[in-house]
Amino acid sequence: MSRIDLSAFPAGQAVLQAYPVPLDGAGSRCRVQLRNLPGATHLHVCLREDETVVFRAEIPAEGGEALRLDIGFDAAGKLDVECPGRRLVLLPSQPALPPPEQPIDLSGQRENLDLALVIDATARVFGPGGESWPLLADRQRWPAQAAKLRGFCETLAAHFNTCRCAVLAFGDQPMAGVTAADLQPAYRLYPEAPPAGLSRLADPAQVERQLLALAPSSGGDFVDALADALAACQAFHWQASARKLLLLSGDSPGHSLLQPAPKGGDACVRGPDVDSEALRLHRLGVALVTVYQDPDRGFLNDLIGPPRELQRYAEDQYRRLAALPELAFAASAFDGRREAEQVRALSGLVGQGGSYGEWLGVAEN
C-alpha cells in the first residue's frame, strides 16, 4: 500500500515535515491532532501519497486552537477526511497561492532589528462639537504620539546589536472628478519615492524628528492608501537573520478584497489590497504591529448609523492586520516602551491566513 503523509510543523520548529498517517488500506481510519498556529485564521491540511498531493483543504480555526482530524479510506479505497464540528473548504491540489512553508519564528535571539514605521497622514482629531482637524497638525497630540513611537523604537533597539529603521507615511490617491481642495490628498506616499532599504538607526531622536516632519494629507474618501504603503515596504531589503517588524499607526483602513469597506467607504479604483500585501510581508518574515488611533469615548458614543459602521470597520481592520491579537493596540492606551517589551517577549511560530499546523500526534480512537 502507498504511504500517506500529512504536512505539518514539529512543535516549535519552523521547518515543514511530512508525518506518516497510519492507514492499512480500504476501511481503515485514524485520528491525528494539529494545532492551528497563533495568528492564523485557517488550518491548512495537505495530504500526499508518494509525494503527490491527493487532498488539500482549509478549516476555519482560532489561532492556537487544537483540532482533531479523522482520516481514512472508505470501503472503495477513496480517501476521506473529516474534522468533527467543522466544515472543510476543499482546495485544488496546486493552489495559485499556497501557504508559506516557513512561518514567522519569534523564538530565539536575533542580533539585529529591522523596523518600519508606517503612519496614516490622514488621521483626524475630533473636537466635542464634531469639528475635526489633522492629527499630524495637532501641536499637542502628535508630538506626544511621536515621543511614544520613539520610545517604542528606543526600547526595542536596546536589545539588539544594530537597528535599521524607516518612516513612511500614506495619504491617498486623487478621486476622479473631485475638485474640492479639502478632498485633494497632498500625497499618496511620503517620501514619494520610498527608500530602497532601511537605514542604520544611530539615534532614536532621528525617528522622532522624522515623525514630526511628516505633513498631514486629506484622504479624499474613507479608504486610503494603506495597501500601497504595505506594498512599498516590501522593497526595504529586510535582513533574513533580523527580527523584522512593521508598526502601523493610524485610523484609516486600506482597500480590502476579502472584507470590503461598507457602502460609500471607497470611491476609487485601486490596485493593491491590504490582505495580499500583509501576506507578502508575512512571507518575508515581517510581523505587523498596529496602533489604532481610537476616537475619544465621548465622540464615539455620539456616532450612529453609517459613521459608526465605518469607524468599526477601520478598527476591525487594524486589529485583523496585526500579526497576533496581542499586537493590536489602541493609541489612547499606547505607552510605547511597555509595548516594546511585550513585543520582545513574544516567542513561538506565527501564521497568517491559512497556515500549516503544528503536529500534536496520532490520537487514540
Domain boundaries, the chain: 4-102+352-363, 109-346
CA dist 213 and 233 (Å) reads 20
Mean pLDDT of 99-115: 88
∠339-342-345 over CA atoms, to 5°? 155
CATH topology of domain 109-346: Rossmann fold (3.40.50)
Q: Is residue 51 left, alpha or beta, with left meaning phi > 0 and alpha meaning psi from -120 to 50?
A: left
CA dist 237 and 224 (Å) reads 25
CA dist 70 and 60 (Å) reads 16
Q: At what angle do helices 141-157 and 204-212 cross, to 10 degrees?
A: 150
Split at pLDDT 50, 70, 90, the class of 180 is low
R_g of the chain computed on alpha carbons: 23
> pLDDT by residue (tens digit) across 57-83?
999 999 999 999 999 888 777 888 999
**Rounded percentage of the chain residues whose pLDDT exceeds 70:** 93
pLDDT of residue 304: 47
* Average pLDDT of the residues of the chain: 89
Using the predicted structure, report yes or no on whether residue 209 has a pLDDT greater than 90. Answer: yes
Are 47 and 54 a contacting pair, CB within 8 Å? yes
Cell of 250: 493610524
Are 252 and 226 a contacting pair, CB within 8 Å? yes
CA dist 359 and 37 (Å) reads 11
CA dist 3 and 93 (Å) reads 17
Task: Give the least confident one: 116-120, 240-244, 287-291.
Answer: 240-244
- Helices (H), ranges, 239-304: 274-283, 297-302
Mean pLDDT of 133-138: 92
Residue scoring higher pLDDT (230 or 201): 230
Cell of 133: 482637524
pTM of the complete model:
0.90
